[in-house]
Chains A and B, each alone.
Chain A
Amino acid sequence: MSVQRRGASVDIAGLRREYLSGQGSVVAIDHVDLKVAPGEFLCIVGPSGCGKSTLLRILAGLDKQTSGTITVDAAGWAVENAMVFQDSGLFPWMSVETNVRFGLDTRGVPRAEAAPRVEAALKLVGLTRFRNHYPHQLSGGMRQRSAIARAFVTDPGMLLMDEPFAALDAQNRVILQSELVRLWEQTGKTVIYVTHSIEEALLMGDRTVIMTAQPGRIKQIVDVPFPHPRDLLQLSASAEFGKLKLDIWRVLEEEVNRARAEMEK
């Protein structure tokens, strides 16, 4: 089976984000050039503070670059992007169903049209039975599933994911990673996935972008050679996977050390 890829394409050129702080300015990201193909599953890894979240927030329209351009072609999609946050960001005062419908309500989709779409999204993540629960009644994994459903239901050109499984326990993380990969294999949507875990990036993505420590630049882009559909558990135990992971660790280690030396200076 090959994944039928369809989704937004992104062209990022010369992106730079500078924050003004008390004493001078901090460059969060600099010289970022990146092309994302329609339907690509792209992972971005880097040491903390490398600006990977900043990049994602700019793509999500939650932050603005200081200079550089982003061109997104999301023609044919209802909305350009939908973000899944690290801490689900579900509204505690809305039921799961209302949360999932949120992005449709804000865009004025009539209830009659929204209902079957919400239904399908809930089914997609296996939460149909929990539609009337409030977020505090759900486990962390179920909350992230709801957040994913909320993103999918809007039919976005791409999904932006900011370490969505970082707060989950190890077992739940593995389960949700597999589910996300399965969802992606079914839909072939563009995904930009930020994580600090190399393992996660290699397990799920088509390509992995490695970023340098502050200021965040692209250090290397790695093509992940594993074919889809993937069995994540099997893949994570394979020798090829282990070797690739080690290679990338070497690259990243350099960055982590450099970042630490920078801080101790």
Chain B
Amino acid sequence: MSPKTQERLLYLISPIGLIALWQVLLMAGVGDRRFVPAPSDIAWRYWEMVASGELAKHTVVTLWRVFAGFFLGSIPGIAVGLLMAMFRPVRIFFDPLIASLFPIPKIALMPLLLLAFGFGDASKIALVVTAVFFPVVVNTYVGAANIEKIYWDVAKNYGASQWVVFRRIVFFGALPMIFAGLRISLAVSFIVLVAAEFVATKAGIGYLIWNSWELLQVDIMFVGIVTVGILGLIATVILQEIERKVIPWKAE
């Protein structure tokens, strides 16, 4: 066996081993299967919910909220981050806002957002926007502010205008860090959204998890949790693929 294959196997052993142990213990009668379902029970329930279309219904709602919030939060985040790096007054203006608003747990804003945007999708999307905005701003700013000095020198010596510097140098120079920010934000958007869906909504994976808890359908709860993990994984892989396409100069 080559070292590479060994590593891959090792990579799989821990999750598979954990699931197997879990299954074996429950089958051996350790624990109450009504409260702690076995992996096989969850898989069975998962399959049922996929077949009935119920899981798809909740998934679509959650995905729509995540992606709407992700785009609406990250695009202004990128713009503000770049402007902060380019113009000192913009940085001075935004710095205290970011320093004070970033640490606030965004889920604490939920009641406020319900008040402002009502019980529909808008309040959930707004929550994701607030959660996504800050990591993207900070990463974009750091990326743009740390562009090597020589690129500014080249731009100046070759007669680049502010606009050219912004569009062709600061943006691209910051792009690797922008993507780092987007990756964090993507995970954060799932985290806050699922929590937000615990209240004041009748759809979404978060609702599914919370509702099944109240009805003590623990297997459905696990289906919801597993689904969030899978969605997060797929979304991250897609984002990484986009990153590879958009940043071809990043050496492998």
Contacts and interface: CB of A to CB of B under 8 A. Distances in A.
A91 B151 contact: yes
**Number of contact residues on B: which range applies?**
20 to 34
Contact of A107 (B155, B159, B172): B159
A93 B170 CA distance: 11
Contact of A61 (B156, B160, B172): B156
Contacts of B241: none
Contact residues on A (Cβ < 8 Å of other chain), bracket:
20 to 34
- Which of B151, B154, B251 has the most CB atoms of chain A within a 10 A radius of its CB? B154
B248 interface: yes
B150 A134 contact: no
Interface string A40-81: 000000000000000000001110000000000000000101
Given A62-B153, A85-B153, A93 B172 contact: yes
Nearest to B171: A93
B5 interface: no
B157 A91 contact: no
B175 interface: yes
A154 interface: yes
A106 interface: yes
A87 interface: yes
B87 interface: no
Secondary structure call for the A interface: loop
A167 to B, nearest CB: 13
B249 A89 contact: no
A126 interface: no
Given A85-B150, A89-B150, A135 B249 contact: yes
A94 B168 CA distance: 9
25 contacts: A60-B157, A83-B154, A85-B153, A87-B150, A89-B150, A89-B151, A89-B154, A91-B168, A91-B169, A93-B173, A93-B247, A94-B172, A102-B154, A102-B168, A103-B158, A103-B159, A105-B164, A105-B168, A106-B155, A106-B158, A106-B160, A134-B248, A134-B249, A135-B249, A154-B158
Interface of A: 60-62, 79, 81-83, 85, 87, 89, 91-94, 102-103, 105-107, 134-136, 150, 154
